[in-house]
Chains A and B, each alone.
Chain A
């Protein structure tokens, strides 16, 4: 009933469910509830050492470990892909320590842990997306002192951020920030959406899903409840715009999705394909094709 999960590959080691001890989970759970009650505000928490390096998303892993239940179905993506070393390592970690079901299908997941993307398929009510965050403080590059950034958030004094974005315009003629593009949550807190492409920012606004953010090294948790207003900062004469891609996905023909450039050879050959591998393979299985598609029968055999 309450037996620790034993990893078959590591017979000598037993874990508490989802690795974290219960006291740590309670502490993280309390931080999550306060984060939900104050959308966009960074709640400090006592981050634990995890059996993986910080760059691997220990903050997101701790948040997932604290919310995960035996009946959850977990999806883990890294830059849109379920198959990178990082995504596979985290998925295996939770399969091993919690014995939960995992999936690559966005629509089948109850919890999606992500590094640097929001899936293309629209998230649903009841789903939770957990972001891995390296630098949670959007003002950090402008003001290194934590006491000062806390003060600025308390006063809702975001002039520094406006100045930074405006300097972009002065230098480049447009806002050059394309990743970790700052947002204002429910008209109050300015928040770092983590290093997702700004293409994904509009998906945060009025999302039916709960969005949780965990920064392990910086020991912060923050949240956006479902149906919360999330606005990308901009100026009247330079409104926020997402990246647009000239061509559709070369494998599935999708438009209006975020594409990655893939180098094909050393002669300058390249193609653009969906960054979201589940979205792309789902479309291919449905029969959608792109300019570089193999014949469908072959594609169906992977």
Chain B
């Protein structure tokens, strides 16, 4: 059937069950942040505009609202439907200045921006720091070894694509503790938390 010329572009739907889908998405993120480096299942039936992934969209709908300025990376900014989707379903203001954002969404993980561009928190209020939600294509084990709260002994993970200097960046972030940014990686079917407390174990 022909689409009427004046029709408003269809906006992708939000959570089918807003209360419980938000709770389930949050519960997965909470578990992921509590046990860094552990891939935690996150089922999302959202169908957001590309290149926003359905898991990143679930995090957005669970956590964002008018109180949380959000920054979108170049890949997401290039698709205006993404900002429209987030504005419509969350009310979060989309900001150009990464330092002003409470949340940042990164679709091009290989071009992960420098963490220093984002709010690091303040000495009296280290919670006033950004959370970066970074889309990767899959999780595995092995490449990066972590220690820290939430980890009994050590835990290893891998995720691709990510910059090869990610362990060094995480270590630099950890050195700012209790300041620093927190990362949530999303991949098809799951999320993985990298809060500022993680200490990458450098092999040499």
Contact surface of A with B, Cβ cutoff 8 Å:
1-2, 16-17, 22-23, 25-27, 29-39, 41, 43-44, 67-70, 126, 150-151, 153-155, 186, 188-189, 206, 208, 210, 224-229
18 residue pairs bridging A and B, Cβ less than 8 Å apart: A1-B17, A16-B19, A17-B20, A26-B62, A27-B65, A29-B30, A30-B102, A34-B182, A36-B30, A36-B34, A36-B150, A38-B126, A68-B23, A69-B20, A126-B31, A226-B35, A226-B152, A228-B150
**B151 x A33 contact (CB < 8 A):** no
Q: Does B16 contact A (CB under 8 A)?
A: yes
**Interchain CA distance A155-B178 in the complex, whole Å:** 11
**A37 x B195 contact (CB < 8 A):** yes
Further pairs besides A36-B150, A37-B195, A225-B34: 13, Cβ < 8 Å: A2-B19, A30-B102, A34-B127, A35-B127, A37-B197, A38-B127, A41-B127, A69-B20, A150-B125, A154-B124, A186-B149, A227-B151, A227-B152
Q: Does B54 contact A (CB under 8 A)?
A: no
5 smallest beta-carbon distances between A and B, as pairs: A37-B195, A154-B123, A34-B127, A225-B150, A228-B149
Contacts A22-B22, A38-B196, A41-B178 given: A67-B63 contact, CB under 8 Å?
no
**Interchain CA distance A11-B29 in the complex, whole Å:** 35
**B63 x A37 contact (CB < 8 A):** no
Q: Does B113 contact A (CB under 8 A)?
A: no
**Interchain CA distance A22-B18 in the complex, whole Å:** 9
A202 CB to nearest chain B CB (Å): 17
Q: Does B24 contact A (CB under 8 A)?
A: yes
Contacts A29-B62, A33-B182, A43-B127 given: A67-B18 contact, CB under 8 Å?
no
Which of B19, B27, B35, B123 is close to A22, meaning CB atoms less than 8 Å apart? B19
Residue on B with the closest CB to A210?
A: B34
* Main SS class of interface, A: mixed
CB-CB under 8 A from A22, the residues of chain B are: 18-19, 22
**Interchain CA distance A67-B24 in the complex, whole Å:** 9
CB-CB under 8 A from A208, the residues of chain B are: 152
**A23 x B34 contact (CB < 8 A):** no
Residue on B with the closest CB to A221?
A: B127
* Main SS class of interface, B: loop
Q: Does B67 contact A (CB under 8 A)?
A: yes
Q: Does B177 contact A (CB under 8 A)?
A: yes
CB-CB under 8 A from B157, the residues of chain A are: none
**A32 x B30 contact (CB < 8 A):** yes
Contact surface of B with A, Cβ cutoff 8 Å:
16-20, 22-24, 26-27, 29-31, 33-35, 62-65, 67-68, 102, 123-127, 129, 131, 149-152, 177-178, 182, 195-197
**Interchain CA distance A114-B124 in the complex, whole Å:** 29
Contacts A2-B17, A227-B149 given: A29-B26 contact, CB under 8 Å?
yes
**A37 x B182 contact (CB < 8 A):** yes
Residue on B with the closest CB to A34?
A: B127
CB-CB under 8 A from A25, the residues of chain B are: 22-23
**A31 x B127 contact (CB < 8 A):** yes
CB-CB under 8 A from A126, the residues of chain B are: 31
**Interchain CA distance A114-B84 in the complex, whole Å:** 43
**Interchain CA distance A277-B178 in the complex, whole Å:** 39
**B33 x A2 contact (CB < 8 A):** no
CB-CB under 8 A from A17, the residues of chain B are: 19-20, 23
CB-CB under 8 A from B124, the residues of chain A are: 150-151, 153-154
**A36 x B152 contact (CB < 8 A):** no
Residue on A with the closest CB to B27?
A: A69
A76 CB to nearest chain B CB (Å): 19
A182 CB to nearest chain B CB (Å): 18
CB-CB under 8 A from B23, the residues of chain A are: 17, 25, 67-70
Residue on A with the closest CB to B29?
A: A33
**Interchain CA distance A225-B147 in the complex, whole Å:** 13
**A69 x B30 contact (CB < 8 A):** no
B18 CB to nearest chain A CB (Å): 6
CB-CB under 8 A from B24, the residues of chain A are: 69
CB-CB under 8 A from A39, the residues of chain B are: 149, 197
A217 CB to nearest chain B CB (Å): 20
A159 CB to nearest chain B CB (Å): 18
B120 CB to nearest chain A CB (Å): 12
**A226 x B182 contact (CB < 8 A):** no
Which of B27, B126, B129, B150 is close to A67, meaning CB atoms less than 8 Å apart? B27
A191 CB to nearest chain B CB (Å): 13
**B197 x A186 contact (CB < 8 A):** yes
**Interchain CA distance A151-B123 in the complex, whole Å:** 8
